[in-house]
Amino acid sequence: MEQLEFTLLFLVVLFFLLGTGVWIGLALAGVAWVGMVLFTARPVGDAMITAMWSTSSSWSLTALPLFIWMGEILFRTRLSEDMFKGLAPWMARLPGGLLHTNIVGCTIFAAVSGSSAATLTTVGKMTVPELQKRGYPERMVIGTLAGAATLGLMIPPSLTLIVYGVTINESITKLFMAGIFPGLVLAALFMGYLVIWVKMSKDYAPTPEPPMTFAERVARSRFLIPVILLILAVIGSMYAGLATATEAAAIGVLGSLVLAAAQGSLTFKSFLDSLLGATRVSAMIALILCGAAFLSLSMGFTGLPRTLANWIGSLHLTKFQLIMALLVFYIILGCFLDGISSVVLTISIVEPMIRDVGIDVIWFGVFIVLVVEMAQITPPVGFNLFVMQGMTGHQMGFVAKSAFPMFLIMNLMVFIMLLFPELATWLPTHLTLAPG
């Protein structure tokens, strides 16, 4: 009965605080404080300080602000412009033409940015005007970009995977490796949908690109060299076992500074703006993590996660049934919370469930990132939708409808991962890893 009382109190206090506009991290800590005071006899202040310090002093967490800073630096370079120049000659020959630059460009930039919003903004600021100028259908320009930008959360480095790994104390490098194949398969599904849509569409009539010889296309590919070198330095160092996630993040920051300087984009103002931007985002995530750590400790003292896990166990759900239940749960939750908040708010309760039914925590990390990606393009809180609305000036309803086919493709990807779990588990178990 005590667990039921705490659950109801937890929900009432949490939604009250969130509804009044309190920051998510403070709302989580507030719920934990109320629970500790009413349901335990432990000193609340000492427990809060211990939980928050343990989380904020995690060495794995140091990769987070570094990857954020790397993305902020690259956002202020001419990277998107160069990527478009290098990709356009090759994409123009495919069914769907330059619309594929949205998908491939986001896939490439996702490998040097752990943020969906940064991927969307960086790639979109170049591709959207160019595609509009060439007469590509507006809803496909918006849909492919909003959907493909979510790859920034899956293809490493991923901020959500870092948060998930820190929360469950799992190797960040293993999680990064787990995300690479599912991310590439999802990108291929997006491109496949685009090809099918073009074959069936009656209003697809963009301005054709001027013909280019093979030598000219190869020459234009030189614009892709800087970003490819940066990807090899960051991701390659981890996959080769030469660097931990934190060390690879430091390499990425140095590489992005060199790239910005070489392009003439590195000024004192851009350097300061990138540093302040990274600090704001890192502080926001750290506050959410600290609040979630205190809430997890509070729920642990009350026995709620164990009771809930035992109740789920008594239902004798299969792995498939539990995954389907969690899929619906996270899609609904994602309509109201951002991805990182969804992960840290629920993982202390969900983790015992998935372990009890034998779901691999590495595989589940990729699954949870995939469903969090869906939240980026689902109203009313889908952040990618807001960014696209500001970038194109269209109404939210039009943007959401344009991105809906990508949402369905992400659901299809969940079933592909269920059929082929090795997509997420093969790399982490077959490659040599650096410690951490």
Q: For residue 323, is it within any domain? A: yes
* Per-residue confidence (pLDDT) for residue 364, from 0 to 100: 94
Q: How big is the CA angle at 330 (ends 35 and 148), to the nearest 5 degrees?
A: 135
* Per-residue confidence (pLDDT) for residue 166, from 0 to 100: 84
| More confident of the two residues 54 and 328 | 328
Q: Can you tell me the distance from the alpha carbon of 100 to that of 1, in angstroms, rounded to the nearest whole number?
A: 56
Amino acid at residue number 73 = I
Q: For residue 397, is it within any domain? A: yes
Mean pLDDT for the stretch of residues 195-224:
81
pLDDT tens, 164-185? 888 888 888 889 889 999 999 9
> 99-108, 187-196, 280-289: which has the highest mean pLDDT?
187-196
Average pLDDT in the chain: 81
pLDDT tens, 125-144? 778 888 888 888 888 889 99
| Counted domains in the chain | 1
The model's confidence at residue 7, banded by pLDDT at 50, 70 and 90, is low
Q: For residue 435, is it within any domain? A: no
Q: For residue 276, is it within any domain? A: yes
Task: Give the structural domain span for 298.
Answer: 2-430
pLDDT tens, 237-274? 877 778 877 888 889 889 889 988 888 888 889 899 98
Lowest mean pLDDT among 42-46, 115-119, 139-143: 115-119
Task: Using the predicted structure, report yes or no on whether residue 357 has a pLDDT greater than 70.
Answer: yes
Q: For residue 322, is it within any domain? A: yes
Mean pLDDT for the stretch of residues 84-101:
84
Backbone angles phi, psi at 277, to 5 degrees: -60, -45
| More confident of the two residues 80 and 99 | 99
Q: For residue 98, is it within any domain? A: yes
Task: Using the predicted structure, report yes or no on whether residue 1 has a pLDDT greater than 50.
Answer: no
Identify the residue whose tokens are 């919003």.
117
Identify the residue whose tokens are 């390659």.
236
Mean pLDDT for the stretch of residues 193-214:
81
Tokens of 8: 């109801």
Mean pLDDT for the stretch of residues 408-433:
88
State the CB neighbour count (10 A cutoff) for residue 198: 17
Q: Can you tell me the distance from the alpha carbon of 144 to that of 157, in angstroms, rounded to the nearest whole number?
A: 21
* Per-residue confidence (pLDDT) for residue 192, from 0 to 100: 93
* Per-residue confidence (pLDDT) for residue 381, from 0 to 100: 62
Q: For residue 381, is it within any domain? A: yes
Q: For residue 436, is it within any domain? A: no
Task: Using the predicted structure, report yes or no on whether residue 415 has a pLDDT greater than 90.
Answer: yes
> 135-139, 189-193, 298-302: which has the highest mean pLDDT?
189-193
Task: Using the predicted structure, report yes or no on whether residue 367 has a pLDDT greater than 50.
Answer: yes
* Per-residue confidence (pLDDT) for residue 308, from 0 to 100: 62
Q: Can you tell me the distance from the alpha carbon of 430 to that of 173, in angstroms, rounded to the nearest whole number?
A: 13
| More confident of the two residues 125 and 219 | 219
